[in-house]
A = this chain, B = another copy of it.
Amino acid sequence: MERRTYHHGDLRGALLDAAESLVRERGVDGWSLREASARVGVSPSAAYHHFASRDVLVRTLADRVLAGLGRRMANAAARADPAQRVVAAGRAYVRWAVEDPSVARLVFRGGSAEPAAAVTPHPHDVLSAELDRLAEAGVLSASARAGAEYVVWAALHGLATLLVDGLVHVDGPRALDREAERLVRTAITGLSHEPPRPVPRTGPRTRRYD
Q: How far is the CA of A157 from the CA of B155 in the complex (A)?
A: 8
Q: How far is the CA of A29 from the CA of B120 in the complex (A)?
A: 30
Q: Is A179 among interface residues, defined by CB-CB distance under 8 A?
A: yes
Task: List residues of chain B with CB within 8 A of the CB of A189.
Answer: 189-190, 193-194
Contact stretch, chosen from A41-49, A127-135, A169-177: A169-177
Q: Is A183 among interface residues, defined by CB-CB distance under 8 A?
A: yes
Q: Is A80 among interface residues, defined by CB-CB distance under 8 A?
A: no
Q: Is A84 among interface residues, defined by CB-CB distance under 8 A?
A: no
A151/B204 in contact, CB under 8 A: no
Q: Is A191 among interface residues, defined by CB-CB distance under 8 A?
A: yes
A contact residues vs B (CB 8 Å cutoff): 29, 108-111, 147, 150-151, 153-162, 165-171, 175, 179, 182-183, 185-191, 193-194, 201-210
A209/B110 in contact, CB under 8 A: no
Task: List residues of chain B with CB within 8 A of the CB of A168.
Answer: 150, 153, 204-208
A204/B158 in contact, CB under 8 A: no
Listed by A's residue number, 6 A-B pairs whose Cβ atoms lie within 8 Å are A150-B179, A158-B159, A167-B208, A168-B208, A169-B206, A179-B203
A165/B204 in contact, CB under 8 A: no
Q: How far is the CA of A193 from the CA of B175 in the complex (A)?
A: 21
Q: How far is the CA of A203 from the CA of B180 in the complex (A)?
A: 11
Determine which of B185, B193, B205 lies in contact with A169 in the assembled complex, contact meaning CB atoms within 8 Å: B205
A151/B186 in contact, CB under 8 A: yes
A169/B111 in contact, CB under 8 A: no
Q: How far is the CA of A203 from the CA of B186 in the complex (A)?
A: 14
A159/B154 in contact, CB under 8 A: yes
A153/B158 in contact, CB under 8 A: yes
| Nearest-Cβ distance from residue A131 to partner chain B, whole angstroms | 13
B204/A166 in contact, CB under 8 A: no
Determine which of B111, B167, B186 lies in contact with A207 in the assembled complex, contact meaning CB atoms within 8 Å: B167
B175/A186 in contact, CB under 8 A: no
